[in-house]
Chains A and B, each alone.
Chain A
Amino acid sequence: MLASLFLIGASLTTPQMSVQAASQTIVEDSDDGMTRAVNRMVGGIVSYARWPDGAADSTRVMCVIGTPRLTNRMAPDVPGAGSVLVRRLSVGTVAGRADCDILFLGRMAIADRRQLIAWVRGRPILTITDDDAACIYGAMFCLSNRAANLSFSVNLDAIGRGPLRIDPRVLSIGRSAGGPP
């Protein structure tokens, strides 16, 4: 009872903190195990996202900004039809381009990240980061490797603000696994 009161209070005072804890993907124990796991997870997330303009099997452009922490060989593995084209961009060039469907935010300055999140708001762009384990800085999906497992968390507020539709099953995976909701 007290705990639930505290939770309600917490969600009222910090509305941006409705973050879902992550699922646990098994990472194979090899050199490129983490790379494969990250690519598979990103591909899976992309496959469950719906852009307002297009079909599921179209090619999406992923713009990687900053330095990814988990892998340098970013090549998302989308199950079934559909694929992802990877581009590396700097913070300054993103705003000028209109063809980014996905933003992958690696390690970067906090001010840059805040600027990008603000720019994304209202646009049909999926945001994924691997530099925010608590998932509190405004990216929709946050990857993290805890205890040799790869997992992702969901920021429902960020998803709710954007025009993208995410399959609720993915949200529930992000929500139900691991730590406190």
Chain B
Amino acid sequence: MTGQIPERIGARTTLQKLLSRFHFGITLFAVALSGLTILLAGVSALRGYADRNMELAAQLGAYGVEPALVFNDPQAAREGLEPLTRIPGIARLRVLNDRGQPLTQWSSPMADPAPLLTRMFFPRPFAVAIERNGSAIGTIEVWGDSSTLIDYVRIGLLAGLGCLLITALGTIFLARRFEYELVKPLNEIATVAHDVRLHRRFDKRVKPLGIAELDRLGGDINNLLDELQGWQGHMESERAMLAHRASHDTLTAMPNRDAFDEQLAQRIASADARGERFALLFIDADNFKAANDSFGHAAGDAVLVALSACIKDTLRKGDFAARIGGDEFIVIVDPLDAETVPDDLARHIRACVAQPVTLPGGETYQASASVGVAVYPDDGGDATALLTAADAAMYANKLRNRSKA
């Protein structure tokens, strides 16, 4: 799947390239169309002018050589043609008398620059009959050549090339403009989508866009993100609740045995690292089973809640308390400095617990608790040893309490 993605991107074209190609095609088409039209119009107009030019030349020649034909004088005919030989675009001239015999002829010394063009424009000579007082006395024939047309064709080709260049530049400009107008908003949307997918940044939103369709797309994406953000928040709070539930006791809202084990391991590691000590108070309600049996579970719960309240009351900042069993609680007293005496804390808890508790049934019950203290690393080098030591201390305390009672 991941191997396919680069291949697909590589095979695809960008929007800008697509637009550029499209623009180039359209502009080229337009330029070609208009160029062709102008070329055709130009060629037909030019052809008209060339024809007219030849005709005028022939008329001029006819006027000039008329007396020469009357007097049958080839020299005068040559002189009559002289003005025509200076007109560019004439390849050949011939004067025929009334019997069709040539009186004089002239050929341009310059070579035809484009014989193909000449054949296209002047396939046959222009012949004008020469008349004297209404009777034909001869004919003058004029052949054109391409020397005047070649300039037009050259300029036309240059202009075409220039248009092509302008087309290319215009296309680039238009494509740039389109990139700015269209590709940029699309990129904006893509960036937001990418950010959301990759970095889970559900707070990102697409800014308002100038193009209506894209703005609508952006709005839809924003709505989708709103929903996603809602789901995400809901899921996170659900997960936090589940996590809390997994690590906490529901009755006393104190961390449970799992949370305690984790916490203890951390505290040991931290104390080892800093070379400090901390104390563990193991607290167990006395005669809890008996109270539970004689007053009911609700009373037992009330006793546990009261006990937990006393423990929470004793906690300082940094201390940690957990309910690790039915009537067993543990407090991690950390840090354990010179002013803190674990035994004082134990006494404080026991004094607190000794206050009468009002049971749901209306009776009062006086509970008592046994507290054992173990200090890390003095009483145990690891979690199990420390717990065992604290348990033993608690048990010793319980025995002492019973013998007192």
Contacts and interface: CB of A to CB of B under 8 A. Distances in A.
A24 B131 CA distance: 21
Nearest to B67: A169
A25 B72 contact: yes
Contact of B75 (A40, A82, A169, A177): A177
B64 interface: yes
B127 interface: no
A11 B79 CA distance: 25
B67 A48 contact: yes
Contact of A24 (B75, B80, B132): B75
Nearest to A149: B73
Interface of A: 23-26, 37, 40-41, 44, 47-48, 56-57, 78-82, 152, 167, 169-170, 172-173, 176-177
Interface string B301-339: 000000000000000000000000000000000000000
Given A79-B135, A80-B133, A23 B71 contact: yes
Given A48-B70, A169-B63, 18 more contacts: A23-B73, A24-B75, A25-B71, A25-B73, A26-B72, A26-B74, A37-B72, A40-B72, A41-B71, A48-B67, A78-B133, A79-B132, A79-B133, A79-B135, A79-B137, A80-B133, A169-B80, A176-B79
A44 B67 contact: yes
B76 A176 contact: yes
Interface of B: 63-64, 66-68, 70-76, 79-80, 131-135, 137
Given A169-B64, A170-B67, A80 B73 contact: no
A25 B136 CA distance: 19
Contact of B133 (A25, A47, A169): A47
B134 A80 contact: yes
B73 A24 contact: yes
Contacts of B70: 40, 44, 47-48, 79
Complex A-B, nearest 7 residue pairs according to Cβ-Cβ distance, in ascending order: A80-B133, A44-B70, A79-B132, A80-B135, A173-B76, A169-B67, A81-B133
Contact of A56 (B74, B133, B135): B133
B133 A82 contact: yes
A44 B71 contact: yes
B97 to A, nearest CB: 10
Contacts of A79: 70, 132-133, 135, 137
Contact of A177 (B73, B132, B134, B135): B73
Contacts of B131: 80
Contacts of A82: 133
B133 A23 contact: no
B67 A177 contact: no
